[in-house]
Structure formats: C-alpha cells, structure tokens
Amino acid sequence: MKPTCPWAMHISRGTVQDHWCVKTLRYQHQCFESKVIGLYTQSTIAKEIEATIDTNPLIPVKELRDEIQNKHKIHVSEAKMRRAKLDVTYKKDGDFRKQYGILNKYCEELLRANPGTTVQIDVEPCCDPSSPTRQFRRIYICYAGMKSGFKMCGREILGLDRCSIQDPFPGQILTAVGIDGNNGIYPVAFALVEAETDQSWTWFLKCLGDDFDLPTNASFTFISDGQKGLIPALERVFPNAEHRYCLKHIRKNMKKQWGGDVFKSMLLRAASATSLPYYINAMEDIRKADTSLFKWLEQIPAKSWSRAHFSGSAKCDILLNSICDEFNKHLIGATDKPVITCLEYIREYMTKRIVNVRKLQADAAGPLTPYAQSLFETIQSEASQLTVMMVDDAIYQVNGVGTTQCVVNVELKTCTCRKWDLTGMPCKHAVVAIRNMAENGMNVGVPENWVDEAYWLDTWKKVYANQISAIPGPDMWTPSECTTTLTPPKRHEQNGEPNKKRRRSSLDERRKISTAEKRKKSMEEVERVFSSGGQMTRKGHFKTCQKCGNKDHNVRTCKAVGGTGTSLQIDVMPVSDCL
C-alpha cells in the first residue's frame, strides 16, 4: 500500500482473550494494490470469475455476484458484475471490431482447408477506389461438403429463413436448409447480411443459384414464411420456381379474424388434400362456413399452400417451414458473438451434426433409411384393406372403403391420389398393385425397390460421406494475400417496429424457448384432458381458508365463528397437555 493512501485502521486488544477492538477505520482507498486486495476493480473481478464462466457460460449475473460476495465477504454491484462478465466473454469470443480486420485471413484459411467452398464478401460502395480499407456489408458461405451432399440428396427443395444478429453491429443471418432421406434437416448455405431487404435476399439467392447451377428458368422448390423482402426477390431471380408458404404463418394471419379449431381443421383439410377434387370439396366447405374466409384464402395462390397444386419434382410434400426453425434454434448461441466467432459457431454445429448422423447410420439396417422404413411399413399395413383389379401390365384399378377408387400406373410411378407423385414413396394403392404384379408372376423384386432413391440407405450414407474440415487457430493463420482491410459495418435500419425493449442475449433467448416449450406442454395436457371428457385435477394444490387460516376448505365452507357454516368447530386440548 502506498504511503500517500489515507486508508488506516487502528485496533487494540480487548478485555476478552483473543478478542480485538477496532478503534479507527478509514475506507478511503486511493491505490491500486488495496483495491486488488479488496477485489473492488472490474478487471480483478473478471479474473476471479473467468474459471466459473468457462465451466458454465450460461450462469446468471446474480449467481456470480452471490458467489463472489460469499467467498470474499465484499459487496459488488450487479452492474459491475455484468460488465466483468462481458469482459470475460469478449476475451473468450474476441473483439467485435478487430475481427473484421482479420476476416480476410479467416476466409483464406477456410478455403485452404475446404477446397471448393464458396465464400463471397460484399462491401459498401466506396467513393475512393485507392482507399486501403473497405466497409464490410455481407458474407456468404457454402461449404464444399454440404454443396456436394445436397446434390446427392435427390430432394430439390430448400427452406429459406432468417434470424437476427444481436451484437453491437445488428444484422440478419439468412439460411438455406434442405431435407435428407431420413427427413432430417440438411443445412446448405448461410449468409450474414446487413438487414432483411429485397436487395439482401436477391444477393443471397443469386449466390445459391451460382453454387447449384440453377438457371433463371429453373423449376426448383423453395419454402419460406412469406417474408415481404423474399417474395419479390424470388420472383426476380427464379420466376419459374415453386414457392411454398409455411402453413403455420398463414394460420397465424387467419387467426386474427377467424379463430377457433373449426376453421383451423378446415384449413388443414384443404392444404393436406393431395388431389384437386378433394381440394375443391374442402374449399366448398369453407365457403359454406364463412364466405369472407373463402375470399381471403383465394387471394393466396393455391400453389403456395395446397398439396393438390404442388409439383412432384421436390419429392417432398411438407407444409411447414420447420426445417429452418430447427436450424435457427441451434444458431441462437451465435447471434451475440463477433463475426468470426459467429461463423465458427455455425461451422462447428454443422460438423457435429454430420458426426451425429454418421453414428445413427452405423446402427441402421435395411434398404431404406429409418424414417422411410417406418413409413413404408405403415403404408404396407394400410394396403391390406384394399382390393385391386388389373387393367393391363402397367395400369391397375384399386378400390378402397366405400366409393374410394384410384388408378395406379406402375410404369410412370403415378397414382390418382398423387401421394406417390409428390413424395416418391409408393402409396397404399401402389403397394397393392405391386403385390398383384408379384402374384401374377412378374419380376417386381422387393417392394422397397419401388421407393425413390432419395430414401435409400446407401444414398443417405453417400450424402453424409462429405464432411467439413476443421481449421487451426488464429495464431497459425498465414498472412492474407488481400491488401484491402475490412472495417466494421455501418448501422442499417432493421425491418419491423423499433425495438423498445432491451436487447436479448443468447441466454435470454434459450430461456424464452425453454419457457415456451413448457407452456406448450402444459396447454397440450389441458387439451388432452378436456378432449377425453375429463376434468382438470387440483392435485398438488391446497386450498387455504382466508378466515381461519386452516387448509382443505375455503371461506364459504368455513365452520369457524363468523363463517357461513352451520356448526362451530372447537379445538379440544388433550388431557395430557393440561397436566
């Protein structure tokens, strides 16, 4: 402690043995050493909690403060503890501004470890071409392994969505996610952009088109939430593409005026109809129930939300964009990190997912993927209730319950119910026709051979044989050959209403998701009880009377003095207590 520091303490021995009495104490510390001893500085607190945060990165600030206060018997404000935790986080994740300066080195190292990977960086327009710096605006990454794997999947459909970046330089993460043969998500490409606008979506779609050799007139399939910036961009880049809207968001908009489970089931029936006559009947029921709802649905192109109008090129009939929701849920931890740490977080997640799927493939057996095998067994059991009549070698008439009747063409692999056309999985009518062919001596092989190759186990393994290679740490990166240095992006206005609440961290978002899942389970339990005709139980909840304070009854049935009951309850003291 410095001699000039006014801090002082005078003590003397007390009257009791081993007791001391403080006579004088001045708390005025003015030297760094005394503050370090007292753990009052923000930097010292950061060093103290660094090991705790490494062990548990999601530990709340209040728990950190309680731990320091109990350990060192000092008072630390919650604000100082929050700043100390941010210091530790920044030290671990990196500096937000400095990482833009080494982004070129990171991209070159990524390309060196993964040949064939596409990395495109877009910068803000600059008035001075001779300037050695450029201001960062966007970055697009599509790993070579994911690019090759998606081309092997055989399911030409991509889900498009975005999630918000919550660091000091706000922006959006645009994602493109496919579906593998086991009906699992297959992340393909992503981009960090300045905002969700028509220009950013156009740039992202053009990058996707260049990577997958999609011409302007490509009949590819996309599914999204129907964002305003995405719709015109998709019409401009791929005017002939099939654009599906997530049915959940259509229902969300419809619920504002037409709520209730009746309208919900009618919408689901119209969207799930695979043939045009069934769709027309479902829409007629909606028109009879509510003409305004019928007119509102007519304004949405039917090819965007009804299976009866989907083409079969995607080998997928999904109505929800849940594949992107699942992928974005795993990106929450990357939304509040610096740019390189964010990109590395996404790369590591995609790498881990490939490894986990390979472990699942090691336990799989049979000609089809586990999902396809389970689905095909269900279809085969349903086919036992149908009858079939052969028309010629390729065409069969299949009769079901009542007046249900379908025509199957095994040569073209089509059925009038259109389920075989949409998914590539033989429907129950096709399974009956294939069985009839086998009974008549035709060489049809095993029934699984009629399933599209996208669902084969061999195809699934070939897709995940492609991998993403790891890269070394920043201290082993070679100097960049690019002479231009990137600077942090400028602040762009985000779409939607201004954010009037505090910015949520990734921990808050995870807690929000956890709370939402618990609430969803609770509501599902309520719906299950009432749908079964039962009543909700009060098990675990005890009533307490507000008049007498006793449990198991309320004020209305209270029998104490002044209550509404007819009898008087008297507590009698045992005789043993009176003696």
pLDDT band at residue 436 using 50, 70 and 90 as cut-offs: very high
Spatial CB neighbours of 208, under 8 Å, sequence gap ≥ 6: 142, 158, 176, 188, 189, 214
The model's pLDDT over 366-413, given as tens digits with 9 standing for 90+, comes to 899 999 999 999 999 999 889 999 999 899 999 987 778 999 999 999
The model's pLDDT over 233-270, given as tens digits with 9 standing for 90+, comes to 999 999 999 999 999 999 999 998 998 889 999 999 99
The model's pLDDT over 3-13, given as tens digits with 9 standing for 90+, comes to 666 777 778 87
pLDDT band at residue 512 using 50, 70 and 90 as cut-offs: low
CA gap 176, 186 in Å, rounded: 9
| Sole residue written with tokens 């098990």 | 539
What's the pLDDT score for residue 66?
Answer: 87
Position 433 pLDDT exceeds 90: yes
The model's pLDDT over 87-113, given as tens digits with 9 standing for 90+, comes to 887 777 777 888 999 999 999 999 999
What's the pLDDT score for residue 14?
Answer: 74
CA gap 124, 131 in Å, rounded: 13
Q: Which SS3 state, helix, strand or coil, does residue 562 take?
A: coil
User: Do 21 and 14 contact (CB within 8 A), yes or no?
Assistant: yes
Burial degree of 526 (CB within 10 A; 0-12, 13-18, 19+): exposed
Residues in a beta bridge with 163: 173
CA gap 528, 530 in Å, rounded: 6
**How far from the centroid of its chain's Cα atoms is residue 69's Cα?**
38
Angstrom CA distances, 281 to 276, 297, 549, stand at 9, 14, 61
How much of the chain exceeds pLDDT 70, in percent? 84
Locate the domains of the chain by residue range: 8-93, 94-246+320-365+477-492, 247-309, 368-455, 508-537, 538-579
CA gap 163, 192 in Å, rounded: 10
Highest mean pLDDT among 5-9, 103-107, 492-496, 543-547: 103-107
Lowest mean pLDDT among 171-175, 389-393, 464-468, 495-499: 495-499
- Run of H or E including 540: none
DSSP structure string for 50-74? HHHHHH-TT--HHHHHHHHHHHH--
CATH architecture of the domain formed by 94-246+320-365+477-492:
2-Layer Sandwich (3.30)
- Mean pLDDT to the nearest integer, 269-283: 94
Among 262, 261, 266, which residue's Cα sits nearest to residue 294?
266
pTM reported for the whole predicted model: 0.76
pLDDT band at residue 29 using 50, 70 and 90 as cut-offs: low
Spatial CB neighbours of 571, under 8 Å, sequence gap ≥ 6: none
User: Do 440 and 432 contact (CB within 8 A), yes or no?
Assistant: no
What's the pLDDT score for residue 519?
Answer: 59
pLDDT band at residue 572 using 50, 70 and 90 as cut-offs: very low
Among 245, 232, 237, which residue's Cα sits nearest to residue 215?
237
What's the pLDDT score for residue 542?
Answer: 56
Q: Average pLDDT over the chain, rounded to whole?
A: 84
CA gap 43, 298 in Å, rounded: 62
Structure-derived torsion over alpha carbons of residues 144, 149, 151, 155, reported in degrees to the nearest 10: -140
